[in-house]
Amino acid sequence: MNTDRISELRIEWEAEEKIAHIHGWDFSHIHDRYEEEEDLPWNYKQIIDENRVDSMELLDFDTGGGEFLRSLGHPYGKTAATEGYAPNVELCMKELLPLGIDFKACDDASNVPFADGSFDMIINRHGDFDPEETARLLRPDGLFITEQVGGENDRDLVEMVLPDVPKPFPELELSIQKKKFEDAGLKIIRAEEAFRPIRFYDVGAFVWFAHIIEWEFPGFSVDKCFDRLLKIQEVIDKNGYVEGTIHRYLIVAKKKG
């Protein structure tokens, strides 16, 4: 790779680094530049829809910007949501409260500001959770439906640029979490785990992603990881993409009546 191209790549990647931020949970900036979750063996929204009826009191914990929650079409007067990330809290207050959704700021999954037995269904996609607190919030026969990012997520990608970084959440394994829910008095209705590819078609998209997912890529920067990014570029030049592995698991649990 000649020096002119290396210089151009550095400028390009540093530009991606400077603009890396997120609004809600919006990855549209790298749409068509990467792929993931295209082939999970379950459909999270479909599972919710199969179990949801309009009369239920529903909570979306760690709702992000509320985009997915609104897509469900659940009656707003029977819908509640929480979020702890400050920019998203502001967004939810602006977007959800005027609809009549009972939104509360909350960044502690073990101390959720709703009364015992408030909900028939609690949903949680890629957010924090506490099985004991979930059991407290659910009514008898209430359902908890969650799709989570597992502890092995993106590890091969992380090791390409930050080889000595430990796993941030090693306890996020299906077998460990199933037992925690059972210990909290919930019955496991469904539990599945999947490892699927994630592909990046240009290094700039990878740089943006690594800055957004900072808990997986702590301390990442173009300057610090430049030589390793050049190696990823060589892989993309050869194959058209660089591939890693996502780790997801699904739990549907029911509070005993």
Mean pLDDT along residues 144-154: 97
Q: If you count them, how many residues does the chain have?
A: 257
Segment 14-29, tens digit of pLDDT: 999 999 987 666 788 9
Whether the pLDDT of residue 70 is over 90: the answer is yes
Share of the chain above pLDDT 90, in %: 93
What is the CB neighbour count within 10 angstroms for residue 234? 12
Cα angle for residues 101, 214, 154 (degrees, 5° grid): 100
Query: 186-200 and 58-60 as β-strands: parallel, antiparallel, unpaired?
Result: unpaired
Report the C-alpha gap between 18 and 178 in whole angstroms.
40
Structure tokens belonging to residue 169: 């959440």
Mean pLDDT along residues 42-68: 97
Structure tokens belonging to residue 170: 């090693």
| Cα 55 to chain centroid, rounded | 28
Those residues with Cβ within 8 angstroms of residue 245's Cβ, 6 or more apart along the chain or in another chain: 152, 153, 154, 155, 156, 195, 196, 197, 198
Those residues with Cβ within 8 angstroms of residue 93's Cβ, 6 or more apart along the chain or in another chain: 103, 105
Q: How confident is the model at residue 38 (pLDDT cuts 50, 70, 90)?
A: confident
DSSP letter for 98, please: G
Q: Classify residue 123 by burial, with Cβ atoms within 10 Å: 0-12, 13-18, 19+.
A: buried
Q: End-to-end CA distance of the chain, in Å?
A: 65
Mean pLDDT along residues 217-224: 97
186: which strand partners?
255
When the pLDDT of each residue in the chain is averaged and rounded to a whole number, the result is: 95
Structure tokens belonging to residue 107: 């960044």
Report the C-alpha gap between 179 and 161 in whole angstroms.
34
- CATH classification of 3-255 is 3.40.50.150, yes or no? yes
Mean pLDDT along residues 30-46: 95
Q: How confident is the model at residue 72 (pLDDT cuts 50, 70, 90)?
A: very high
Whether the pLDDT of residue 85 is over 90: the answer is no
81: which strand partners?
60, 103
Report the C-alpha gap between 80 and 119 in whole angstroms.
9
What is the CB neighbour count within 10 angstroms for residue 34? 18
